[in-house]
Amino acid sequence: MQCLYRLQFLKLILIFNIYLYAFFQLVKREGAGIELPMTGDKVFVHYVGTLLDGTHFDSSRDRGEKFSFELGKGQVIKAWDIGVATMKTGELCQLICKPEYAYGSAGSPPKIPPNATLVFEVELFDFHGEDLTEDEDGGIIRRIITKGQGYSKPNEGAAVEVTVEGTFEGRVFDQRELKFEVGDGENLSLPVGVEKAIMSMEQGEEALISLKPKYGFGNAGNGKFNIPGGAMLQYKIKLAAFEKAKESWEMNTVEKLEQSGIVKEKGTQYFKEGKFKQASVQYKRIVTWLEHETGLQEEDEKKAKALRLAAHLNLAMCFLKLQEPNQALENCDKALELDASSEKALFRRGEALFGMKEFERARDDFQRVIQLYPANKAAKSQVKYCLLKGNSNNFHLSIMAIAATNMETASLFLTTAAAWNPEKKKTQLTVSFRFWFGM
């Protein structure tokens, strides 16, 4: 009897709280640890949803698949964004949500009527930060400590004021207040991942950023901060203020041409210093500003074309240095659209294709360079390497490629190789050896 009275009493308390509060959360099983999800985290839950009268309207458990969403982004009802933010991994709770924190006066027909109070049983299984990388490789993970204001974010070239605190294995190695332009971070010993993270932040936002080596200090590490190669880093960043750089649509033609000349020189200086990532950022700005410019005066058209060509050629070289041949190839193709006989574009495209193990296509580009620019000795050497790499399974052709020292002899070998067939392998090989080694 006492147990029955206790249950009735708890039920009265529950009903009282339903009417007193917008939503009520009852923990049915405690979670593990102390860490809670943050705004922007992707959370994974199971849930069962019912009306107050017990009518079942939805269940992820019935579907056999966990439900995921980004916390605090308005992807779910308000009660969920608030309630799940207080849960620990493994926690099981009940959320009782008044209409204003659920589906309101509209409901969600046909299963949820207007002005319905809803009951959800929610179990939190996992959560992790937001992946900011384009490839979604987990290299830059953001967890928002304090949400920022508004929706505007810094762009390339924006003037930013930030506070940064870098840690490695629990040791604080960098703690500064900085003012700089986005794109210049490497000059201040900031990893590329920090700048990418800043460009995703709103004013006033404070976030915890985890960086894989690719977006940190790479395999080289950083001697100044005593960071070894291959280190995983964490940064706490607060974006205090920023002023966006002018977007392309905000600039007239004269401004675009002037700014393109300035950032071209800036990029060239970075390249000379071996700062290829920073250099590429500057060259990309030229492309962004000028690639869609139309109806220019003849003189401006010439300037714009020359700047775009230089930008694509320099981007190709940057990406070759960064061992990203696919992007180098893309920029060479763009350069060749502007100048089909560009010596640098053809040669660098050959290098990009070589890096992609497209040896025959690479050889074609190097041979095209030789046809147009016979004095290019580097292209002649590259043809030899393409022959060697592309025919590494053909012994006699490999021998010929190794021996080749100029285009005339290489041409002779290509003729010999074209006529060769498996039945005459021994004869052809003997001829080749006699020609070269005087057997």
Percent of the chain with pLDDT over 70: 83
Catalytic residue check, 47? yes
Q: How confident is the model at residue 89 (pLDDT cuts 50, 70, 90)?
A: very high
The SS3 assignment for 200 reads coil
Q: What is the pLDDT of residue 8?
A: 44
Mean pLDDT, the chain, as a whole number? 86
Is 4 a member of any domain? no
- Which stretch of 24-33, 237-246, 357-366 has the lowest confidence by average pLDDT? 24-33
Shared-domain flag, residues 117 and 35: yes
- Which stretch of 303-317, 342-356, 424-438 has the lowest confidence by average pLDDT? 424-438
Burial of 268 (0-12, 13-18, 19+ CB in 10 A): middle
In this prediction, residues 174-199 reach a mean pLDDT of 95
Catalytic-labelled residue, pool 44, 57, 173, 433 = 57
Give yes or no for residue 307 having a pLDDT over 80.
Answer: yes
Domain boundary among 243, 264, 299: 243
Is 67 a member of any domain? yes
Q: What is the pTM for the complete model shown? A: 0.66
Shared-domain flag, residues 291 and 364: yes
CA–CA separation, 31 vs 127, rounded Å?
13
Counting the structural domains of the chain, the total is 4
Shared-domain flag, residues 197 and 226: yes
Q: Which residues, in sequence order, are CB contacts of 38 under 8 Å at separation 6+?
A: 71, 85, 129, 143, 144, 145, 208
Phi, psi at residue 365, to the nearest 5°? -65, -40
**Owning domain of residue 186:** 131-243
Catalytic residue check, 57? yes
Report how far apart the first and last C-alpha atoms of the chain are (Å, whole number): 111
Bridge partners (DSSP) listed for residue 114: none
Q: Chain centroid to CA 268: how far? A: 24
In this prediction, residues 309-329 reach a mean pLDDT of 97
Is 6 a member of any domain? no
Shared-domain flag, residues 302 and 368: yes
Catalytic residue check, 103? yes
Give yes or no for residue 439 having a pLDDT over 60.
Answer: no
Domain with 85 in it: what CATH number?
3.10.50.40
- Reported as a single tens digit per residue, the pLDDT across 131-167 is 999 888 999 999 999 999 988 999 989 999 999 999 9
Catalytic residue check, 215? no
Catalytic-labelled residue, pool 101, 120, 127, 271 = 120
Closest to 354 in 3D by CA, of 376, 323, 397 = 323
Q: What is the pLDDT of residue 25?
A: 80
Bridge partners (DSSP) listed for residue 87: none
Cis peptide bond N-terminal to 110, omega within 30: yes
Shared-domain flag, residues 124 and 136: no
Catalytic-labelled residue, pool 24, 41, 67, 77 = 77
Shared-domain flag, residues 216 and 283: no
Bridge partners (DSSP) listed for residue 239: 162
Count the Cβ atoms, other than its own, within 10 Å of residue 201. 23
Q: What is the pLDDT of residue 341?
A: 96
Catalytic-labelled residue, pool 24, 103, 347, 413 = 103
Is 5 a member of any domain? no
- Reported as a single tens digit per residue, the pLDDT across 20-63 is 456 678 889 999 988 999 999 999 999 999 999 999 999 999 99
Cα–Cα distance list, 29 to 10, 87, 164 (Å): 17, 10, 38
In this prediction, residues 222-229 reach a mean pLDDT of 96
In this prediction, residues 261-270 reach a mean pLDDT of 94
Count the Cβ atoms, other than its own, within 10 Å of residue 63. 10
Domain boundary among 128, 155, 176: 128
Buried b (16+ CB within 10 A) or exposed e, 149-173: eeeebbbbbbebebebebebeeeeb
Shared-domain flag, residues 114 and 199: no
Catalytic residue check, 120? yes
Shared-domain flag, residues 119 and 155: no
Catalytic residue check, 225? no
